[in-house]
Amino acid sequence: MNIELKKSYQATIIDGVCLPFSPRWGLRELSLIIGEYQSGDEHEQHFLQTVGSGNWYRSEYDEFRFRQDNHQLESIWFHLPEVNIEPDKQDIISLWQFETPIKGLLSLLSLQGFNPEPMDFRFLEQNGNFLACISEMALTTTKNKNRLRLRIAKDFDLLFIEQKLCGWLLSHPINYLVMSWDEPSSVTIDEQFVSIVHEYLNLIAEPNIEKIEDEDPEILESLLALHKRISISTKYTYQFQIVTNCIQEIVEQFYSYMI
């Protein structure tokens, strides 16, 4: 089966194989990485040795990198949108969790570079069972259309409608939260922590991001309140520290406020 990553840029599916790397979800960077590199320098070398989409270090475009010899997918580096899905459309995304994942990797049909369309919306399921980022097409196309949930790595799926890329889904996303280039650590999903991540994602989203850039005092108050709520938690762990670090960086960068 051939699928479309962008108009005129196609790949075929190699059945039964996956990337051997665990996903890494960067909360502050709003990024999702699956690849062997562990630093910016290693990513740079990886980029030079592969082909596909992206534009050097921390590209503004979603990155698919393929081997030059057999054209097989080697890594991804995706960006989470800054817009949360509207509540009345969350059920449309939730339909994807009932699609059976099919294990497979992509092989690019042409070695030409390309830049895929960015995803439009993000959604963290209420109980933290999955994180999804999708395009507008995924919301406007009827549920009866041909769907494909392609599992390219542990707990990570690319989503297609009518063989066209329309999003991605990460199961158990809390397990893959990391700081910087860290490897994920296995954790038990905690309801309190899931609610904190929800609150953070609701705060650090448009139109609030524009307000933060304008040093809006109400957003600062909400960020400080969330930071305090985490700091007094009896379950303060590595995952909690990820969120507090994110808040500290934001208030220091945009408000010149030291916590």
Confidence of residue 242 (pLDDT cuts 50, 70, 90): very high
- Cβ(170)–Cβ(176) under 8 Å? yes
Residue 102 has pLDDT above 80, yes or no: yes
| Strands in the chain per DSSP E | 2-6, 9-15, 24-26, 31-34, 50-52, 63-67, 73-79, 102-108, 121-124, 130-134, 147-153, 156-161, 164-171, 177-178
pLDDT in tens, 24-52: 999 999 999 999 999 999 999 999 999 99
Asked whether the predicted pLDDT for residue 78 surpasses 70, the reply is yes
pLDDT average, residue stretch 239-247: 94
HSE of 150, CA atoms in CB hemisphere, 13 A: 32
For residue 99, the model assigns a pLDDT of 92
Q: Which residue has the higher pLDDT, 189 or 90?
A: 90
pLDDT at 161 over 70: yes
Distance (Å, whole) CA 164 – CA 181: 31
Q: 11 with 3: CB under 8 angstroms?
A: yes
Report the predicted TM-score, pTM, of the whole model to 2 decimal places: 0.94
C-alpha 225, offset from chain centre: 26
Spatial neighbors of 217 by CB under 8 A, at least 6 apart, are none
